[in-house]
Amino acid sequence: MSSNIASIDFAEYQGLARILHHCLIRHPEAELVQGLKDCDVAGSWPTFANRDQNSTGREALAAFLAQWPTDTHEAELIELKLDYGQLFFGPGEPNAVPQGSVYLSEEQLLNDRSTMALMDFYQANGVDVDVDYPQPLDHIGLFFAVLDQTFGRLQLETDNQALVRFTQVLLQQHLLPWAHRCFELAQLHSSSDFYRGIALLASDFLLQMQQDFQLLPKETRLYR
């Protein structure tokens, strides 16, 4: 195992992946936002290499959570749900589509060849992705669910080279080629500091993992 990987705090990485999964997979609920505020997620998020997007992301998330009311927050939650919808869900075409195949296929289709390749990769490695409701397997929130599981195992199996290799291929071949573009669009179109901050922190986390696992993302043409 390289010195970069050996220095990873996998418990910390699992926690970050879980937060990003919950923030990206579905419309927000008040309990999620209040939990992030109570746990001071913005203040305790690791600085990593002190990249600008890390500090800007933490500042944006901290600003949003600071103004989140502790009693009645119905209006604020509606605004946040609308922001999530226009970014990641709809109605209409989301501004930051969260499914990888839309970026990787010329026709910009859901469940295209890259999704099938990801499905084959998961099956070959015995990965079972639990989906609460019908959702393409290459939804960016589901990638962070798989990373959550993987980092949890790596805490206990630090010398599992097959698991390290799985993580490298997952990132290099299936996530990194398009995820930064998704988060770039989310930063551009977000109407809230919440999703702007989450997008910046998620993109910075991907850069840190790319550095830790010593990866060059697969060169791929993006179609949006």
Paired strand residues for 139? 99
Residue 1 — very low, low, confident or very high, per pLDDT cuts 50/70/90?
low
60-93 burial code (b ≥16 CB/10 A, e <16): bbbebbeebeeeeeeebbeebeebbebbbeeeee
Over residues 117-146, the pLDDT tens digits come to 999 999 999 999 977 777 899 999 999 999
Q: Give the residue from 57, 55, 53, 49 showing the smallest Cα distance to 4.
A: 49
Domain boundaries, the chain: 3-212
Q: Is the pTM of this model over 0.75?
A: yes
Span 5-12, mean pLDDT? Answer: 94
DSSP state of 98: -
pLDDT at 84 over 70: yes
Over residues 156-187, the pLDDT tens digits come to 998 899 999 999 999 999 999 999 999 999 99
Q: Would you state the CATH architecture of domain 3-212?
A: Orthogonal Bundle (1.10)
Q: Give the residue from 130, 100, 96 showing the smallest Cα distance to 112.
A: 100
Of 216 and 133, the one with more pLDDT = 216
Span 195-202, mean pLDDT? Answer: 98
Residues sharing a CB contact under 8 Å with residue 128, sequence separation 6 or more, in sequence order? 122
